[in-house]
Amino acid sequence: MTRTTFIALALTATLAAAPRAANGMLDIYFIDTEGGQATLLVSPTGETFLIDAGFAGLDTPNPDKEPGRDAARIADVARIAAVKQIDTLLVTHFHGDHASGVAHLTKRLPVRLFLDHGTATQDVPPMQQKVGGYAAEWAAAFANAQHRVVAPGDRIAVRDLDVTVVQARGRSIDRAGAVNPHCQGVEHRAADNPENTASVGVVVQYGQFRFANFGDLPWNEELQLLCPMNRVGTIDVYQAARHGNEPSPAVYAMAPRAVVYPNGARKGGGRATLQAFRASPGIEDIWQLHKNIPGGAEGNPPDEFSANLQDTDQTSHPAHYLRITAKNDGSFTLYNSRTKITKEYGPRRDATGVQEQQAAEPVRPTMIAGCPADPVPFYTCAKGKMKTFSPPRTADGRPNFQGFWNANRQAFNIEAHEPSFAYQGGPTLVVDPAEGRVPYQPWAAAIKQERAAKTLDPPSLEFLDPNARCFLRGVPRQMWMMDYQFVQPAGSPFLFTLHEQNHAYRVIAMDGRPHVGSGITSWMGDSRGRWEGDTLVIETTNQNGRQWLDNVGNFYSDRARIVERIAMVDQNTLLWEARIEDPTVYTRPWTMTFPLRRNTTPGFQLMEFACHEGNKSPGLQLRAAPGSR
């Protein structure tokens, strides 16, 4: 974007007095710490997530005029946000401008959970910090609270939000992404210091809105995360790494609409950074917590995009902040507390003017329960671990599966597949046959191939995934979609699973009764269960044969017999497998598998699910297939 265009946008922005965010919106406060970082997220239901705690005071290399100043500013913003505690504090890395303010902070606001990348990787004498340990005040802060070390692929529990760790301790999240064309020809630079290199990076998603904060992630580690594949996806707002120092071109793949620098008057930002972000595809505005004093007119956006205009030495001025208020449709506003002006940003739209839909990237950890996370190697490893694990039990002595579970994956294709524009890459879920492919009869393989070729632009409804029309997914597909709950009522002849997706449920008779007659079929079929030792075995028949197994059209018929086997690997992990028999469609029975992880989020509950409500796509689908029913 040229400078002329940028200024024109600034002058024609929608400007209004800033209202406080209402329920149903995410607030993100960028707090002035004079070149440190403190970013407060308040979820729609009021849960708080603070990223970094700013400076401590006079004991830092860049001393504040008053000790505890940054903690006081965080507390002031918390009062404005009407919150009285920090539910989760993440320190991205152990430098004084990000972590040393914690001692003052905990005197003003209680903190429930402390997160970090692990012990220090660099000595920091002002913080009494040595490699391999924690700074004294950080260790004291979490001594009487909860503390956890995070790793790439972890999810941080914040109600209403999907918070994913994409970078930590020099490692990037292990998942596929689109090829990043902006990596070509970009060279690495001299290695940065160990703590910057260890910075934790997170992506926060609320509906269609996405926000990224990578702490002080250096140039080389940006390339690691975003090249050759963009493992982050597109985002709406990027809090610039390293206080707004020059980004690598690799960040262009994230296509942020707005960038916010957590800079100081003489730290971060400036001409090189401004020019680099102005070249980013889709950029609309660049905001900063401080005007860059040395940068002059060429190194700063117009003053209305800066929260503070004072020089670094004038640190006793009122702390002006920036605030994003985001809706789940991807639209957001950005408010400057100095100017009392708000700018509005509508939902992201593509080149044709159609609102883009951003899907949450499924997190694929590399290890689960001490086993490789990919389904096939997990299956082999977990079989051995099951033999030595004694599961918790119900009153009648059966393994206690009760609680919430999810497969932590989207099976776009149950067979191994490379990433594409439409689907993320992934490993096969098929453990038998050994080649990892469904053993179709030739006529069935031809149907599946035609579906896969036509489903993204279906000429008729037979090529449209039934799930897109809000039909139930059936067994086994329902077992890896979203969260669901196992219920084992004491003394009942039934076991139940309650699914968030489409409000599906399964009533599994455990008393030996026979299946219903073959003339009765349904989307979820008829399930009968039994225990074989500590393994739950469920046989399902009587499905209607209209289900797809995934987005690309793998299928079975109404004659399918599906036998699931579910057993505990550890307290929070289940091994799920299903053997599918259907002589009409397959040349032989075959088996698929994946791990299930317990959802341990405090207070978690299944939410109301809406499919067609407010959804215009059924009309588009029907217009794509005139005359279809």
pLDDT (mean) for 588-606:
90
What residue segments make up the domains of the chain, in order of their start?
Answer: 3-345, 374-624
* H or E element, residue 527: strand 526-532
- pLDDT band of residue 622 (cuts 50, 70, 90) is low
Residue 145 C-alpha from the chain's centroid? 25
| Model pLDDT, residue 529 | 97
Q: Which residue has the higher pLDDT, 14 or 159?
A: 159
Say how far residue 403 (Cα) sits from the centre of its chain: 22
Structure-model confidence comparison of residues 310 and 90, the more confident one: 90
* pLDDT greater than 70 at residue 92: yes
Each residue's pLDDT tens digit, 381-413:
999 999 999 999 999 999 999 999 988 666 689
How many beta carbons lie within 10 A of that of residue 439, not counting itself?
A: 17
Question: Which whole number is the average pLDDT over 219-227?
Answer: 95
User: Is it the case that residue 23 has pLDDT exceeding 80?
Assistant: no
pLDDT band at residue 625 under the 50/70/90 scheme: low
Kind of pairing between the strands at 171-172 and 178-179? unpaired
d(C-alpha 412, C-alpha 428), whole Å: 11
Structural tokens at position 515: 């299946």
Q: What is the pLDDT of residue 288?
A: 96
Cα–Cα distance for residue pair 151/117, rounded to 1 Å: 7
Judge: domain 3-345, CATH 3.40.50.2300: no
Virtual torsion, Cα 614, 618, 624, 627, nearest 10 deg: -130
Residue pair 209/26 in contact by the 8 Å Cβ criterion: yes
166 has pLDDT over 90? yes
Lowest-confidence region among 103-117, 349-363, 410-424, 467-481: 349-363
Decide: 449 and 438 in contact? Cβ < 8 Å: no
- SS3 call for 224: helix
> What digits encode the pLDDT tens for the residues 193-204?
999 999 999 999
pLDDT band at residue 363, thresholds of 50, 70 and 90? very low
Q: Tell me the C-alpha distance between 402 and 394, whole Å.
A: 9
Find, among 273, 216, 284, 268, the residue nearest to 248 by Cα: 273
pLDDT tens for 323-359 read 999 999 999 999 999 999 999 999 986 544 445 555 4
Answer yes or no: is pLDDT of 6 > 50. no
Instruction: Pull the structure tokens for residue 239.
Output: 């809090």
Q: What is the pLDDT of residues 560-577, one digit of tens each?
A: 999 999 999 999 999 999
pLDDT at 14 over 50: no
10 pLDDT higher than 70:
no
At position 574, the amino acid (one-letter code) is L
73 pLDDT exceeds 70? yes
Determine the residue type at 343.
K
**561-570 and 535-541 strand pairing:** antiparallel
Give dist(CA 80, CA 78) in Å, integer. Answer: 5
Span 476-501, mean pLDDT? 91
pLDDT band at 620 (very low <50, low <70, confident <90, very high): low
pLDDT digits (tens, 9 = 90+) for 300-318: 999 999 999 887 655 555 6
- Per-residue model confidence (pLDDT) at position 67: 74
pLDDT value, residue 485: 94
Tell me the pLDDT of the chain averaged across its residues: 87
Kindly provide the residue ranges of all beta strands, DSSP E only, lying in 126-268, ordered along the sequence: 146-149, 155-158, 161-168, 171-172, 178-179, 201-206, 209-213, 229-230, 237-239, 258-261
- What's the rounded mean pLDDT across residues 109-124? 94
User: Which residues make Cβ contacts (< 8 Å) with residue 60, sequence separation at least 6?
Assistant: 96, 97, 100, 126
Could you tell me the two tokens for 280?
């980013």
Confidence class of residue 360 from pLDDT cuts 50, 70 and 90? very low
* Three state DSSP letters for 318-387: CCCCEEEEECCCCCEEEEECCCCEEEEECCCECCCCCECCCCCCCCCCCEECCEECCHHHHHHHHHHHHC
- Average pLDDT, stretch 516-529? 96
So what's the pLDDT on residue 205?
Answer: 95
Task: Please name which of 468, 455, 500, 471 lies closest in space to residue 615, comparing C-alpha atoms.
Answer: 468
268-272: average pLDDT: 92
Q: What is the pLDDT of residue 629?
A: 42
From residue 455, give the alpha-carbon distance in Å to each of 83, 350, 551.
47, 21, 8
CA dist 152 → 32, 95, 212, 233, 480 (Å): 28, 20, 14, 15, 22
The answer to whether the CB of 47 falls within 8 A of the CB of 158 is yes
Model confidence at 51: pLDDT above 90: yes
Residue 86 above 80 pLDDT? yes
pLDDT at 478 over 60: yes
The predicted pLDDT at position 3 comes to 29
CA distance 357 to 497: 30
The DSSP output letter for 270 is S
